[in-house]
Structure 1
Amino acid sequence: MLMAGVLALGVFSVGTATAAQYKIDRSHSTIEFAVSHFGYGVVKGRFNEFSGEFGDDSTKIEIDMESVDSNWAARDKHLRSGDFFNVADFPKATFVSTGMVMDGENITLTGDLTIRDVTKSIEIAVTKIGEGKDRGGNAVAGFKGEFTINRSDYNVSMNLGPLVEQVTITMYLDGAQM
C-alpha cells in the first residue's frame, strides 16, 4: 500500500565559482511519502534514518528502509515485509544524481533511484528554500524536492488496485557545507 523512496536535492548556487557540497543535517530534514488510501483518504509516512550529501556536483542519498514510519506499527511491520520493501533482503534505498537542469527558478534534478532490486531514472522538481549561516558561522542551505513514482515499477507490487499505485515523495533537506 505504501511506497516511498528517496530523494535528493542539489545546492544550486547560481553564479558561484566553486561547487559547494553539503552534508544532510537529519535533525532538520525529512523524507516523507503520501499514497492514496483506496481512493477515500491519504496515508502519509516518513523514513526516520537516512544520510547523504547534496550539492552542485552530485547528490547521494541512502535511506534505511527499516526506519519506515507510517504512524501505525502493524502497517510498518507489513511495509518491511516481502509484500512491500523486503528489508531483510533490501535494507537500503539509494538515490544518485546524474544531472541537473536550471531554468530560472525551476530546478530539475535527474538521477537513479534504487528500491529493492530495481534502479530507475527519475526527475525531481526542486525548490530552493534558502541559504545562510548557522549559529556556528557554517554555510547552510535548504531545499524541497518532490516526485511521484509507481510502486510496482520497483517490485513493490502487492496488488492493492490502481488507486494505490502512485506514491508522492517529498523531501525537505537541510545541509551544512562540507
Structure 2
Amino acid sequence: MSVFTRRRVFIGVGSLAALVLLVVGGTFLYINVFSDDAPPPLALETSPPPASGDAAELGGTWTVAGGSEAGYRVDEVLNGQDNTVVGRTSDVTGEVTVEGTEATAGEITVDMTTITTDSGSRDGQFRGPIMQTDQFPTSTFTLTSPVSLDGLDGAGPISVTATGDLTVRDVTQSIEIQLDVQRSGDGVQVAGSGEIQFADFDVDPPDLGFVRVEDHGTVEFLLTLTRS
C-alpha cells in the first residue's frame, strides 16, 4: 500500500471516528445540557386546601375540571444515549360516579391530537404513523370494578388500585391503574399511572437505527374533580 493510499485510509478512518464522536457527543449535549429534564411523574399537591363541607360525603357525580392533565412516559435510546420522553395534554374530560364510599363508574377521555413533548418532530411521528390520531383522536379509560374510597376524609391521601378498560386506537385491554386520591377544598384530586405494553394495542414503537423506543411505557394522569 502506497503512502498516499495509507494516508487516504487514515484520513477516512479519522473522519468516520470524528463523525461518530460528533453524533454521540452532540446527542449527549442535547439530552444532558440543551434539552430540559423529563418532568417528574404527575402527582398530588403536597399542601392542598383543606376539605370544605362534609368531607365524608362523596356520593354523586364528579366531573373532570380544568387543570387536569394526562399523557405518557417512555424510555428511548437516542444514538446510544438513554433518554426519557414525556408527552402531555390538558384536554381531558370525563366523569366519576360515587355511591357511598365507592367509585362505582367512571370514564376518562384524552384528546390524543393535542399531546405534545419537547420535540415537534417527535410529536409529528406520534400523531402520524405511531398513533394515527386522524383516525383515532381519543383514548379512554373506563372503570370496570368499584374502587373503595374508605379513608378519604380530608385528613390525607389514600392509595388504591383501579381496574378498567383502556382503549387506544380502537383496541381495548384491561389494565390496573395505581391511584393516589385526596380531598382538595370542595373537590377531589386523583393522580394515577399504569404500565402498558405497546404491542397489546397494536402500536409499533419506532426503531429508526438512531433512535429506539422501548416496547412498554407508562400512562399517567392528574385529575381535578368537581361535583356536578
TM interval, shorter chain, is 0.7 to 0.9
Cα deviation digits, residues 48-97 of structure 1 (max 9, x gap)? 3221112422111111111110121111111011x311112111111111
Counterpart position of 1:29 = 68
2:168 corresponds to: 115
Question: Letter of the aligned partner of 1:167 in structure 2?
Answer: G
Unaligned regions of 5+ residues in structure 1, if any? 1-13, 134-139
TM-fit CA distance, 1:19:
2.5
Which of these residues, 197, 200, 215, is aligned with residue 150 of structure 1?
Answer: 197
Highest RCO, 1 vs 2 (Cα 8 Å, sep ≥ 6): 1
Q: How high is the sequence identity, in percent, across the aligned residues?
A: 27
* SS across alignment from 2:194: strand
Are 2:211 and 1:165 aligned?
no
1:69 pairs with 2:148? no
Q: Equivalent residue of 1:77, what SS?
A: helix
Q: Distance in 1 between matches of 2:138 and 2:68?
A: 18
1:9-67 deviations in Å (ceiling 9; x for gaps): xxxxx965x633211113x2111321102271211111232211124221111111111
What's the secondary structure of 1:152's corresponding residue? helix
User: Which protein has the bigger strand share?
Assistant: 1
Q: C-alpha separation between the residues in 2 aligned to 1:158 and 1:146?
A: 20
**Alignment partners' CA distance in 1, 2:159 and 2:197:** 24
Instruction: For 1:117 and 1:40, locate their aligned partners in 2 and report how far apart those are by CA, in whole Å.
Output: 31
The alignment partner of 1:90 has SS state of: coil
Instruction: State the AA in 2 paired with 1:152.
Output: A
1:39-58 equivalent positions in 2, closer than 5 A:
40-56=82-98, 57-58=104-105
Q: 1:49 to 1:101 in 2, by over 3 A?
A: closer
Instruction: Provide the alpha-carbon RMSD of the alignment.
Output: 2.5
Output the TM-score relative to the length of structure 2: 0.62
Contact 2:192-2:222 at 8 Å conserved across structures: yes
CA distance in 2, matches of 1:93, 1:107: 22
> Are the aligned partners of 2:206 and 2:213 in contact in 1 as well (CA < 8 Å)?
no
In 2: Cα distance, 1:74 partner to 1:59 partner: 34
Distance 1:100 1:145 in 2: 16
Higher relative helix content: 2
State the match for 2:184 in structure 1. 131
Q: Distance in 2 between matches of 1:152 and 1:170?
A: 18
Which structure has the larger Rg over C-alpha atoms? 2
